[in-house]
Structure 1
Amino acid sequence: MGHSNLLSNLIETMPIPVSCSVTATPTLPTKPMPGTYGLPLVGPLKDRLDYFWFQGPETFFKARSAAYKSTVFRTNIPPTFFGVNPRVVAVLDCSSFSSLFDNTLIDKSDVLIGPYCPSPNFTGGTRVGVYLDTTDPKHSRIKNFCFDLLKRSSRVWISEFLLNLDALLTTAEADIASSGSSSLLVPLQKCIFNFLCKSLVGADPKVSPEIAENGFIMLDKWLAFQILPTQKIGVIPQPFEELLLHSFPFPSFLVSSDYKKLYEFVEKEGREVVKLAEDEYGLTKSDAINNILFVLGFNAFGGFSVFLPALITTVGRDKSGLRDRLRAEVRKVMADKTELDFKAVVEMEMVRSTVYEVLRMNPPVPLQYGRARSDFVVNSHESSYKVEKGELLCGYQPLVMRDPVVFDDPDTFMPDRFTGAKGKELLQYLFWSNGRETATPTAGDKQCAAKDFVVFTACMLVAQILNKYDDFECDDGNLAFSKLEKKTESVIV
């Protein structure tokens, strides 16, 4: 079949229920919000050291939730350097977290990665769409342009992804044959970068040897210098990580040369989509290119670079027989098909459920933020709490999507969790895309425009590997393939 139809048209055929509200009932008791910011300077510093050094992000939130006996509380969140207000209201259950999706309550201006916002110089001086609130007229124009980019990309999305994935797997086979393993991250990032350039920008990196060879590295550096003050790295020993990475914002000039090369690549090779943004959506040329680069580099490349390795290694390290179950489903679906496409993926319920469960356990963006437009009441499952105008809400999704009120055995990876009628009902509590999995992104919200593309691309990844190989394994300690067992074709005698 052709691949010109927009993915969302295919998704409409899936038996997914309409989202229902998880807002707590009005009869819940209103309680004083627990938590403390501590003494000036001392409190934020203590919380920063706990978050990055002594506890780590997950224990940081778990410990405070247990101490306060509440999934809603006040605390500080890093970074804590000059000019940043670290005070937040943590919302750690499905009910309270869902308030972040209510645009009447929540302002999303400059809160993508929390109380700290990188300099717009990282994006060529443009305040790109993800930093705009939904009330900003420019937000809807930029997001509609993103929808248009995705619609255009659907013509080549499948073919480019599978072409680059097959090249990665061929290289991995050779590496395993010669050395016993094949490192995954760098080849996967090259695969992601190449297919996204062709799909979203309509530009082939091969026209520029430097971009083809180093484009993904340029994006890695550009991403890193924006988010390092908010990330626990764990490679540099403490206290050096605190002193060198978490004590100040990094200046954009460290990556300005690389960004200029990427800008010029999009300007020259992506002329068609740049002109589309100018003519149809009223963006200036520079705003168009900077938004395209952000979608390409931060949203798509950055998100896939976190999520796809987690998906591959989760399946590749499994010892429960998951790969056998997935392979059986994939090959049953593909038995009467000549090619893998989106419609084939719709039939692979177990594959999709596995992808959803990886997203539940390891969301690509663990933290979501939003600022209260005015005073309002936030509801947990048990109580209500008053939030004051201007307060920043912070949701840590790895805990939110392990809410024991919603999910049975929430800390256990259950690949079939989202199968059947009960499993599909649970999709409304899957929030990885800054919205419900049962919702459809619009120009008036902040949900990931490519939400459905991400899920189906991940499903295609699993399906292609298991249709091509009888088995594969990943190293337990390294991000690498340790086995790729070629498919055995049946021979009729």
Structure 2
Amino acid sequence: MASASPPPPSTSLTSQKPLSSPPSQLPLRKMPGSYGLPLLGPLADRLDYFWFQGPEKFFKTRIEKYKSTVFRTNIPPAFPFFGDVNPNIVAVLDVKSFSHLFDMDLVDKRDVLIGDFRPSLEFYGGARVGVYLDTTEPKHAKVKGFSMELLKRSSEVWRRELLSNLDNFWGTVESDLSKNDAASYIVPLQRCIFNFLSASLAGVNTSVSPDIAENGWQMIDRWLAVQIVPTTKIGILQPLEEIFLHTWPYPFFLVAGDYKKLYNFVNDNAGEILQLGEEKYGLTREETIHNLLFILGFNAYGGFSVFLPSLIGRIAGDDSGLQERLRSEVRRVCGPGSGSGLNFRTVNEMELVKSVVYETLRISPPVALQFARARKDFKISSHDAVFEVKKDELLCGYQPLVMRDANVFDDPEEFKPDRYIGQTGSELLNYLFWSNGPQTGTPSESNKQCAAKDIVTLTACLIIADLFLRYDNITGSAGSITAVVKAK
């Protein structure tokens, strides 16, 4: 596919609620909502978003108020005294309107990863890394091509490094459980993720640098946190959070030492990958290093650190019999008691495992907010109306609500492990948008869909399969394991 645009909104789903009429049959409606008075409007919306309501209620109350899933409002951050950030957005909160964010003929993705706010380029060594480039910029094709080539080259070592680091991860969990009633697994999981990604993407085993091996994951955590904390609800004591975390962008010097160490680690050890970026894709060595660090740290490590605890917690906390069904499928496909048959091909045969991964991505998408700027004036349609959008307006979708669109998903608030099984389930993948495009889309140099869309889901499937080859049952939550029963 040349673009990540989903199929036409008029597509109907067998045994699912059909999507509404095509745009030509919908009424043209004046877009509701407003930005309020200068300074006061954005401030009131910011307090609602971070403090009084929280992100989900913020959007839900406005849907109810305007009787529309498309409306104008403000979204944080807004730094009236510390930076020039425009908080005005057009909210698109249903599957049909949200899908416009992936039509590259209609929208521009330049510098809108976190809305109108972009952290200082110092965080990336002064380079505008690929995620901030629009598809019309010549360098985008080079960086996207480099990203896809990294994944292609790493496919041979990805499985091996993942399973090797999972051995260490589960060994740590079991050791902690032998001493305590519960084992917090977030830190061991982040170590596992960082180590296997370093070996797979950069081609460097962290053991070459004791400091990186011990602390690299923490360096990435700090680097990520300083960039995104002004836009993120933390949930600590208000008004301290509002005053100290959301009032200004944080400077790079707070993590400059960490980033320099990560830069040196890549520069000194990832020669083959850096040569690839320079010779095949025409990037400078500096550009290659900074893009590699962003792919490894922000895209891969950051995404997995958010998504995998949701996945493990969902399975560990289930009491519906799902674990037994997953265990049966994994061992039927791979054979019991051995990981020798575990690979990308075999997990691709596990329908229930894949469906659980997809459903977790629907309920808990790793990236909640998606943005795009109107490339031109155009008409955007929701399920029941059409609205006019002006050139340069910023569109914003809150994916946890979009992915619970009752016009598309039956019982949208319910976690259904079998949702994506069979023909009907396969059709629903057209509307699973976690990867900056539909799950049925194909990442390419001409779109902004996540280059690792397929390998992310297959990696999650590998982790589930590995779990049920090791254990008959686990108990826990999205943060800790309280018991494991080893496979007989």
TM-score under structure 2 length normalisation? 0.95
Q: Which residue of 2 aligns with 1:482?
A: 482
Distance 2:241 2:218 in 1: 22
Residue 171 of structure 2 corresponds to 170
Equivalenced residue count is 469
User: Equivalent of 1:72, from 47, 70, 73?
Assistant: 70
Tell me which of 21, 26, 30 is aligned to 2:8: 21
How big is each residue's C-alpha offset from its partner over 1:172-229, in whole Å with a ceiling of 9 and x where there is no partner? 1111111122111100000000000000000011111100000000000000000001
Task: Give the Cα separation in 1 of the matches to 2:449 and 2:105.
Answer: 15
| Same amino acid, percent of matched pairs | 57
Could you say what secondary structure the match of 1:26 adopts?
helix
| 5+ residue gaps, structure 1 | 1-17, 489-493
**Residue of structure 1 equivalent to 2:96:** 95
Letter in 1 for 2:57: T
1:437 aligned to 2:439?
Answer: yes
Equivalent position of 2:290 in the other structure: 290
- Measure, in 2, the Cα distance between the counterparts of 1:439 and 1:455: 14
Match of 1:305 in 2: 305
8 Å Cα contact 2:6-2:437 kept in structure 1: no
- Which residue is equivalent to 2:269? 269
d(CA) in 1 for partners of 2:347 and 2:6? 22
How far, CA to CA, are the matches of 2:454 and 2:114 in structure 1?
Answer: 22
> 1:165-244 residue pairs with structure 2 within 5 A?
165-234=166-235, 236-244=236-244
| Helix, strand or coil at the partner of 2:366 | coil
**Residue identity in the other structure for 2:33:** G
Moved more, 158-167 or 478-487: 478-487
**Offset of residue 19 of structure 1:** 5.8
CA distance in 2, matches of 1:423, 1:398: 19
SS in 2 for 1:155: helix
1: CA distance, partners of 2:479 / 2:193: 16
**Residue 10 of structure 1 aligns with which residue?**
none
- TM alignment of 1:92-131, pairs within 5 A: 92-131=93-132
Amino acid aligned to 1:151: K
User: What is the CA distance between 1:20 and its match in structure 2?
Assistant: 2.6
Quote the Cα distance in structure 2 between the aligned partners of 1:287 and 1:89.
33
The residue that corresponds to 2:19 in the other structure is none
SS in 1 for 2:113: coil
> What amino acid is aligned across from residue 282 of structure 1 in structure 2?
G
Distance in 1 between residues matched to 2:185 and 2:192, nearest whole Å = 11
CA contact under 8 A between 2:185 and 2:480: conserved in structure 1? yes
Q: CA RMSD in A?
A: 1.3
How far apart in 1 are the matches of 2:162 and 2:383?
42
CA deviation map 1:100-145 (0-9, x unaligned)? 0110110000000111011100001111010000000000000000
Q: 1:51: which partner in 2?
A: 49
Unaligned runs of 5+ in 2: 11-21
> TM-score, structure 1 length as denominator?
0.94
How far does the alpha carbon of each residue in 1:11-36 deviate from its partner, in whole angstroms, 9 at most, with x for none? xxxxxxx9632263312110000011
What's the CA shift string for 1:234-261, capped at 9, x where partnerless? Answer: 1x30001001000000001111111010
User: Distance in 1 between the 2:333 and 2:279 partners?
Assistant: 43
In the TM superposition, residue 39 of structure 1 has moved relative to its aligned partner by 0.9
Distance in 2 (CA, whole Å) between partners of 1:219 and 1:157 is 20
Cα shift at 1:319: 1.5
**Equivalent position SS for 2:267:** helix
Partner of 1:466 in structure 2? 468
Contact 2:46 2:74 in 1 (8 A): yes
User: Deviations along 1:256-281, whole A, 9 cap, x unmatched?
Assistant: 11101000000011011011101111
Q: 2:352 — aligned with what?
A: 350
**Runs of at least 4 residues off by over 6 Å:** none
Provide the C-alpha distance between the structure 2 equivalents of 1:304 and 1:200, rounded to a whole number of angstroms.
14
**Quick one: distance in 2 between partners of 1:26 and 1:327?**
48
For residues 353 and 281 of structure 1, what CA distance do their matches in structure 2 show?
Answer: 36
CA–CA distance in structure 2, aligned partners of residues 473 and 444 of structure 1: 44
Match of 1:14 in 2: none
Match of 1:381 in 2: 383
- Aligned residue type for 2:424: K
Partner residue, 1:411:
413
Structure 1 CA distance for aligned equivalents of residues 217 and 175 of structure 2: 23
Matched, 1:248 2:241: no
1:339 CA drift (Å): 2.3
1:399 paired residue number: 401
SS of the residue corresponding to residue 156 of structure 2 reads coil
